[in-house]
Amino acid sequence: MKKLILILLLPTILFSKPLIVINVHTSDYSNLIYASAYGTLGKKRFEILLEDALKKLGLEMKLQDLFSSKNEVLNKKTEKPLELNIYVEDLTIDILKEKNNYIENNASGEYIKVYDKYIKVYVGKWFDKNGQLTKDGLYVKGVDGNFYYPSTFYTKFSHTIEYYTIKGHIRYVFKGKEETILLDSNLKKKWYKWNEAVKSPISMEKSFNYVIDYLAKKIGNDLLENLNYKTKAKIANMNDNRVILNVGKDDGINTNTAFEIDENAQIIVKNVEKNFSEGEILYLKKGTQLHVGDELVEGKRKISIPISLGLYYSTQGAYFSIELVQKNIHHEKVAFFALEFSDKQSYSLGVRVLNFEDLDLFFTYNPGYLGFFVKYKLFDLLFKFNGTDFVLGGGISW
């Protein structure tokens, strides 16, 4: 196996970021046969083309952006050059030919495709749903007398479409992490496109460099997806539910980046400066305390759905409820507005007035009633009253 070493200085020269060394490893491409105007494409020529495409990729995408802003790989705190090994293995590139008797022509095409059948229609004539001819109609009429809602028009033209068929896989090794990306794609090599100006199809063709560019972009796009290293941060200062983190724009941090401490706390970045950022505590597990110096790691933002469902039975009968819930920083319910469905619809409002561990007490209001609502985990007990009547019930909610 021959080893190509591609050293891209762009991150250091343009952005004062660390040097990235990319090692491209290619196997023996005896099964890669493509006859070009310059003869059969061999291994050496393939390696040169791939190297050129990777250089172009570095120029266009500035390379360090491949790793996104969600990692610790490329920031000013990284001192050593970074090494990324790319292994292109078991690659086969063939030419697939496909015969076709119709060509897409939305300008003046006289055929439409219904399932797998092409139907000739009256060109330029549009009809409404009642079959009346009108310039604002959405339907066309086939020569078979039926009306159709078209999506694409075609012209009868026998031709052959050629595709590059690419199979194999690309393997990455980066900072001890290994990923494999499968290749199984068909790219258009030679086809025809309708040209309305000359009222005729014209030939279109992509050179083999198109395949090389595709492989380079595939590498770039999959790096974004697979090499997901998380940024680490420390709390530098605190004020109520606002915290200052020791990472900023130079570390690739953006607004709405989420940081967490295990499953106990989550902070969302609201403002970003050069070397620090300001965040808001989105979630804090009850009993957990944050301190200056605590370490956090980048994670996915927790979503707390402000909806709750309940099933209840009371002295007034059974009912089902849908609640719009207000939660605090611990993701505990502190207030709600509930729609109640039984033989008749009603609503209720509630505000938490007491909390003791898993036990919550809410003061509630229903039309004509005041009451209390006790919640323990999934189980609920309710009591409401007015001047002459009282209601007792219970159920579950989640």
HSE-up (13 A, CA, CB side) for residue 269: 28
One domain for residues 271 and 147:
no
Taking the C-alpha atoms of residue 125 and residue 144, their distance in angstroms, rounded to an integer, is 15
One domain for residues 12 and 30:
yes
Taking the C-alpha atoms of residue 225 and residue 74, their distance in angstroms, rounded to an integer, is 16
One domain for residues 324 and 354:
yes
One domain for residues 317 and 264:
no
- Candidates 57, 28, 55; CA nearest to 44 is 28
Residue 307 in 3-state DSSP? strand
Q: Tens of pLDDT along 320-330? A: 999 999 998 88
**Can you tell me which residue has the tokens 């250091």?**
12
One domain for residues 220 and 365:
no
Q: Does the pLDDT at position 59 exceed 60? A: no
One domain for residues 259 and 285:
yes
Q: Tens of pLDDT along 197-252? A: 999 999 999 988 888 888 888 877 776 566 555 678 899 998 888 899 998 887 76
Q: Is 17 exposed, middle or buried (CB count within 10 Å of its CB: 0-12, 13-18, 19+)?
A: buried
* Residue-level pLDDT at 108: 93
Q: Tens of pLDDT along 334-384? A: 999 999 998 888 999 999 999 988 899 999 999 989 999 999 988 999 999
Q: What CATH number should be reported for the domain holding residue 292?
A: 2.40.10.340
Taking the C-alpha atoms of residue 162 and residue 160, their distance in angstroms, rounded to an integer, is 7
Instruction: Give the DSSP H or E segment for 96.
Output: strand 82-104
Domain assignment present for 101: no
Residue 210 in 3-state DSSP? helix
Domain assignment present for 382: yes
Instruction: Give the DSSP H or E segment for 117.
Output: strand 117-120
Number of domains composing the chain: 4
Question: The whole model's pTM is what?
Answer: 0.51
Domain assignment present for 333: yes
Residue 243 · residue 279 · CB < 8 Å: yes
Beta-bridged to residue 259, according to DSSP, are 267, 298
Taking the C-alpha atoms of residue 303 and residue 359, their distance in angstroms, rounded to an integer, is 24
* Residue-level pLDDT at 123: 93
Which range of residues forms the domain containing residue 270?
232-299
**Which amino acid, residue 17?**
K
